[in-house]
Structure 1
Amino acid sequence: MINNHLDKLQEDLIKQLYAVEEKENSKIRQLLSKLEKKEKEISDKQRNIVNIKQHATDLQLFLSIKQIEEDVSSKDDILNSLVQDENLKNHSLEYKLYTAIQNTISDINSFRDIHIEEKPCEIVLNDRTVFTYYTESLVKVFSNEGLKEFQVKMPCNVYDIAYSSEDNTLAVTSGKSDKRCITIIDVEKKHIKKIISLDSITFGIALRENELIYSGYNKGIRMINLYDESISDIVQDRMPIECYIATVGNKIYHTNHVTNTVTCYDQQGKLQWTFHNESVL
């Protein structure tokens, strides 16, 4: 939407520039036409003077010179008027940037100082450690000795991860990826078992028995039943991006980096308490 608006502004600006340029070109063409006409008239007078000098009598020369003086005087007045006219002044095309826009651009320039630091999410299994690599769309599994056992190329970006010991699988969320899903990886077979498509982007995820609980951005906190893949809402409040979830017993803990809080809900989504500390979160 922002790009479309900027494209429209650019298109309007180009149209204005073309209109101003065409107007000035028209003035220049009119001025050149006037000057060419006067140049032709002066050339004609010069030829007449040569002819008069060669063929006219003294009286004819005197009378002709008086007429030429009057003509030259009138032409001089015309040339002076052209010189004084705005059309003969130097024109330059320029643009003026509104102060508000200039301030905005100054603010945008500060974006150059922003850098992105990628930190892979990790989960520790009994004898392995699993990492997600967001921009590389990879899940890598390492032994306790730090040796890479295998990796799985994912169909989208990856964000958070949860492990199910019941069937030895990993559930991986897709973060801000265009492909909105949770991908299930079979650890034993070292490949993707299935992909569960969703209608929202997903970030933090946790396992509780046979249910996956995840932070679904504008869909709030949601739960997927792994048996039939049915989805139910736990908390319907809109959540920011990049939130994490943990479960302990029948309690759900949800982080919020925008408000610097950790919020506790029961399994029905009822608020229990909120912890707030800007220096910690």
Structure 2
Amino acid sequence: MATNEIALFCDVCQTRDLNKSAEGYCHQCEEALCRECRDHHKISKLLKSHQTISIEKYRKLPSFIKEIKHNCEEHDCFLEFYCKSHDSLCCKLCLISGHKKCNDTIFIDNYLTPSSGHSSAALDNIERVLKDLESNICSAIKDRNRNLTELREQKPVIAEQIKEKREEINTLLDHLEGELLEKASAMETEYCRKIEVVIEKLEDEKKKVDEIQKDIESVKMSASNLQIFIGTKAFEKNISTNEINVQMLYNNGSFNNLVMECTLNDNLGGLIREIKTFGDMKVDNREKHVSFSWKSDKSAQIFKPMSRTKSIGNLCVRLVRKIDIGQNCFSGCAMSEDGNMFFLPLYQNKLLRYDPNGEFRSESSISSLKSSIGYDLAVVDSKTVAVSSGGNFPQEICLIDMDSAETHKEFEIDDWCHGLSYHNGSFIFCTYDNGIKMIDRSHGNLTNVRNLSNAPKMVDGTYVTSNENGIFHSNWHDDSVVCYDFHGQVQWKFYNSLVRKPYGITLDSYSNIYVAGSESNNIVVISPDGKQPKELIGASDGLLDPRAIYFDKTKNLLLVANYSGGAFLFDVYNI
């Protein structure tokens, strides 16, 4: 196949030691052709059905499209079929030799050229998805710019409000006024920057969408059916990544409407001598003003990303790597955005960090106090992981920087803290004999703590996870998995001999629940309604008393650690 983009010569002539500039290209033959060879190509009885394109159009095709081979490497025959069972292209000899029993094979031309004769039908739905994605991104950018303007307009209003109140009292409040204005400016800068970061991410996704659209237009005009077929898979993978990135911004609260408010001190009217502050500043994280709309038919895609409507029966895993850890008694694990893996040995006051390739990087202490602490890990944000102390003193939750591995904050919680989850600004944790508790991180220590009603009292050593749909508790005491709403009402209970002594629990982006069965030596996935279980990974995959488990929702990766040592990283996908 000719690939020289600067000076493309006729491949046929070069076999005769002649260098003639190519004017056309044949996808089926995978050859560049000069004018004379192109004319012969058109009238040849065997080749006249081949479709050639100009060199200019060939150059505009995406590089990965041009690299697609049309002939079977084993039989040197034209690749005309696709086997869904084996996810592979086949020639007619492949069908005879290796796919006799496969019932799910398709003829590529029939798939790509329906009765309407539209050769680029496979790309039409991708373009509709891209159009939806572009529309949603534009709406989100418009909304973020609106909120940005709104925030900036609110600051002078607040400043005037402060000034009017300030004129009613004496000059002793000058310093307090300045402090409050400085706080307003700092908050404006901080939250405006957060919105700008979201806008930058959205604009980056829009650029990716624009690039894909250009590539699709080129493919529609100039690619072969096979190239369109294979290219469709690549386009859908890229679009799925774009879509997940934008949807995750939507789900993680990046589009929540931020409103600055100033609360003035009620004592300003007369009790000047008792006033210690001029007021306070806060940002009200309100509901989104923007919503997403998807008009395209994603079910029409031949290759699909993980879908909410897909049965867990279609979930599969493949081993990415095994991580050899020279220690044991692991009770917690987590992953950072850049792929670093963290493992927590039970009650050993240390946190182990491994790089994305599974190589050991560092070991750090959780607390400066030489106590036997450390039970579970919960990711707080892109830079922070939280550690629960377990059943030993001090009774606290530690926040650790994932880059430096240093503990930068400790929450005293006045209770034992075992299984730990973090969602929407709140810690949710299992205690020794006080049930499941929730604490709002923004309110500081020991304030706004409440118990989850209807949860059992004795939940020592158990695990919990959460998302916007509810709280999920795995209880090894009675082999149960229970889903609660945030008011403590039981939504469903799961008991099944498939999972025995459930410990670690985690969720994917579609509310599927993954549970580590320590006694059954497996990982079982449960449908969001608690009705459908499936063993995803078992003892034959190397699991032996698995306890710690973590799902990376951005990459669809599942991290599992055996209690006795050894960890595994799996890629989770739909078939």
TM-score, normalising length: structure 1: 0.54
Which residue, 305, 316, 330 being the options, matches 1:119? 330
CA contact (8 A) 1:201 1:217 kept: yes
Give the alignment partner of residue 189 of structure 1, picking from 404, 420, 424. 404
Measure how far apart 1:255 and its partner are.
1.1
In 2: Cα distance, 1:228 partner to 1:187 partner: 23
**Alignment length (residue pairs):** 164
Give the whole-Å Cα distance in 2 for the aligned partners of 1:221 and 1:271: 13
Matched to 1:124, the amino acid is M
Structure 2 residue aligned with 1:250: 469
CA RMSD of aligned residues (A): 1.8
Check if 1:174 corresponds to 2:393: no
Q: Does 1:131 align with 2:343?
A: yes
Deviations 1:240-280 (A, max 9, x none): 31110011323100111111101110011111111112451
**Partner-residue secondary structure (3-state), 1:262:** strand
Q: Contact 1:161–1:205 at 8 Å: present in 2 too?
A: yes
C-alpha change, 1:144 and 1:176, in structure 2 (3 Å) is: same
* C-alpha deviation, 1:237, in angstroms: 3.6
Moved more, 130-139 or 235-244: 235-244
- 1:269 corresponds to 2:483: no
Match of 1:146 among 358, 370, 375: 358
1:158 equivalent among 353, 361, 374:
374
3-state SS, counterpart of residue 219 of structure 1: coil
Are residue 206 (structure 1) and residue 421 (structure 2) matched?
yes
Question: Residue 419 of structure 2 contacts residue 463 of structure 2 at CA under 8 Å; is this kept in 1?
Answer: yes
Q: Does the residue aligned with 1:178 lie in a helix, a strand or coil? A: coil
SS of residue paired to 1:150: strand
Describe the SS at the equivalent of 2:443. coil
In 2, Cα distance between equivalents of 1:246 and 1:139? 20
Q: Measure, in 2, the Cα distance between the counterparts of 1:128 and 1:239.
A: 34
The separation in 1 between residues aligned to 2:347 and 2:389, in whole angstroms, is 11
Mapped contact 1:221–1:233 kept (Cα < 8 A): yes
1:170, 1:184 within 8 Å by CA — same for their partners in 2? yes
1:210 Cα deviation after fit: 1.0
Shift of 1:172: 0.4
Deviations 1:24-44 (A, max 9, x none): xxxxxxxxxxxxxxxxxxxxx
Alignment map for 1:7-26 (pairs within 5 Å): none
- Name 1:234's counterpart in structure 2: 452
Find runs of 4+ consecutive structure 1 residues off by over 6 angstroms.
none
1:64-96, Cα deviation, whole Å (9 max, x unpaired): xxxxxxxxxxxxxxxxxxxxxxxxxxxxxxxxx
Please say if residues 336 and 402 of structure 2, whose CA atoms lie closer than 8 Å, have aligned partners that are also in contact: no
CA separation of 1:205/1:135 partners in 2, compared to 1, >3 Å: closer, same or farther? closer
8 Å contact 2:332–2:375 — kept in the other structure? yes
Distance 1:257 1:120, change over 3 A: closer
Give structure 2 stretches of 5+ with no counterpart: 1-327, 501-575
The answer for the alignment partner of 1:23 in structure 2 is none
The normalised TM-score by structure 2 is 0.27
In 1, Cα distance between the equivalents of 2:365 and 2:341?
A: 17
What is the SS of the residue equivalent to 1:212?
Answer: strand
Deviation at 1:165, TM superposition (A): 1.8
What amino acid sits opposite 1:252 in the alignment?
I
Quote the Cα distance in structure 1 between the aligned partners of 2:330 and 2:362: 19
Query: Mapping of 1:69-108 within 5 angstroms?
Result: none
Contact kept, 8 Å, 1:159 with 1:172, in 2: the verdict is yes
Q: Answer 1 or 2: higher relative contact order, Cα 8 Å, separation at least 6.
A: 2
SS at structure 2 position matched to 1:217: coil
Q: Secondary structure at the match of 2:450?
A: strand
| C-alpha distance in 2 between matches for 1:209 and 1:152 | 27
Relative distance call for 1:258 and 1:180 in structure 2 (3 A) is same
Q: Give me the whole-angstrom Cα distance separating, in 2, the residues matched to 1:135 and 1:253.
A: 24
Amino acid at match of 1:147: E
**Structure 1: distance between partners of 2:464 and 2:397:** 15
Following the alignment from structure 2 to structure 1, what is the Cα–Cα distance between the partners of residues 347 and 385? 19
Mapped contact 1:152–1:192 kept (Cα < 8 A): no
Q: Which amino acid aligns with 1:272?
A: Q
- Aligned partner of 2:196 in structure 1 is none
Name the amino acid aligned to 1:119.
Answer: F
| Structure whose CA Rg is larger | 1
Counterpart amino acid of residue 187 in structure 1: M
Task: Please say if residues 347 and 390 of structure 2, whose CA atoms lie closer than 8 Å, have aligned partners that are also in contact.
Answer: no
State the Cα distance separating 1:224 from its structure 2 match: 1.7
**Corresponding position of 1:96:** none
1:225 to 437, 440, 445: 440
Report the equivalent of 2:145. Answer: none
Alignment partners' CA distance in 2, 1:148 and 1:260: 34
Query: What is the CA distance between 1:187 and its match in structure 2?
Result: 1.9
CA distance in structure 2 between the aligned counterparts of 1:257 and 1:278, rounded to whole angstroms: 12
Unaligned regions of 5+ residues in structure 1, if any? 1-116
Instruction: Using the TM superposition, give the Cα deviation of residue 133 of structure 1 relative to its aligned residue in structure 2, in angstroms.
Output: 1.2
Separation in structure 2 between the aligned mates of residue 135 and residue 234 of structure 1, nearest angstrom: 26
Cα 1:265–1:183 shift into 2, 3 Å:
same
**What is the deviation of 1:124?**
2.1
Describe the SS at the equivalent of 2:418: coil
Distance 1:170 1:267 in 2: 23
> SS of 1:227's equivalent?
helix
How far did residue 178 of structure 1 move?
A: 2.6
AA of the residue aligned to 1:177: N
